A = this chain, B = another copy of it.
């Protein structure tokens, strides 16, 4: 079916999965790293940094925007992208919460 049974899982499980899914492509990781590196908004030079066409980059940006990991502000002809602070912090916290639950006592 290829369609996830979202309704059977908790809100937080779905949120974590949604964020993780958005992070689940090297191009999108690269986009975020670029945003973090410049430590400010960037305006469109992403296409030159990435080994992908403009259309494809735009699609990946859309995916990140849909997961609310980034925001895009229109500035004249170009668009200014930056990390969405709220989702970023929340996701960081959720991920840490999960990753911290493990305490090295595996039986296998």
A residues whose Cβ falls under 8 Å from a Cβ of B: 4-6, 8-10, 13-14, 16-18, 20-30, 32-33, 36-37, 39-41, 51-52, 71-73, 80-83, 85, 88, 91-92, 95-96, 98-108
Contacts and interface: CB of A to CB of B under 8 A. Distances in A.
A101 B6 CA distance: 31
A92 B83 contact: no
A107 B82 contact: yes
Protomer copies: 2
A106 B40 CA distance: 6
Given A16-B23, A25-B21, A102-B88, A108 B95 contact: no
Given A16-B29, A40-B106, 17 more contacts: A4-B26, A5-B27, A9-B27, A14-B26, A16-B26, A17-B28, A33-B98, A36-B98, A41-B106, A71-B108, A72-B108, A73-B108, A82-B106, A85-B102, A88-B102, A92-B96, A92-B100
